[in-house]
Amino acid sequence: MKESTKMLLHYITGFLILITGAVHLIANNLVGFNWIKDTLWYPVSQGIFLTAVLYHAMNGLRVILVELLPVSSSGKVISIILIVVGTIFFIFGLYFLLVLFGGW
């Protein structure tokens, strides 16, 4: 994947986090808005939030690490490690969402 595509995805996920993160914070912190959690949209929103936030986080870490270790061979190793870490957290988070909302 081209670097510009990775960064475009970084910005798109940032925008998605802005919306779904706000839903997450409002539904969990403002008592008057607890009804949001009972809607069908909420689990979908949380799934999008989990996916977007993990991509954004792992790509952000990749950018920092690649800049700190500017050797051409290190970029691929860093990417692979972060993909593995991100996937583990994604599976864990998705499983939790399925237990919580999907009746697993």
Residue 14 within binding range of other proteins, rule CB under 8 A: yes
Using the rule CB under 8 A, is 60 a contact of other proteins?
Answer: yes
Structure tokens at 37: 């959690």
Nearest approach in angstroms of CB 23 to other proteins is 14
First CA to last CA across the chain, in angstroms? 35
Q: What share of the chain is helix, strand, coil (3-state, %, to 5)?
A: 90, 0, 10
Figure out which of the listed residues 11, 19, 34, 102 binds other proteins, where binding follows CB under 8 A.
11
103 binds other proteins (CB under 8 A): no
Alpha carbon distance 53, 93 (integer Å): 11
**Which x/- pattern, by CB under 8 A, does the window 19-38 give for other proteins?**
--x-------xxxxx-----
Instruction: Establish if 99 lies at the interface with other proteins (CB under 8 A).
Output: yes
Question: C-alpha dihedral over 92, 94, 100, 104, to 10 degrees?
Answer: -90
For other proteins, give the closer residue by CB, 5 or 29.
Answer: 29
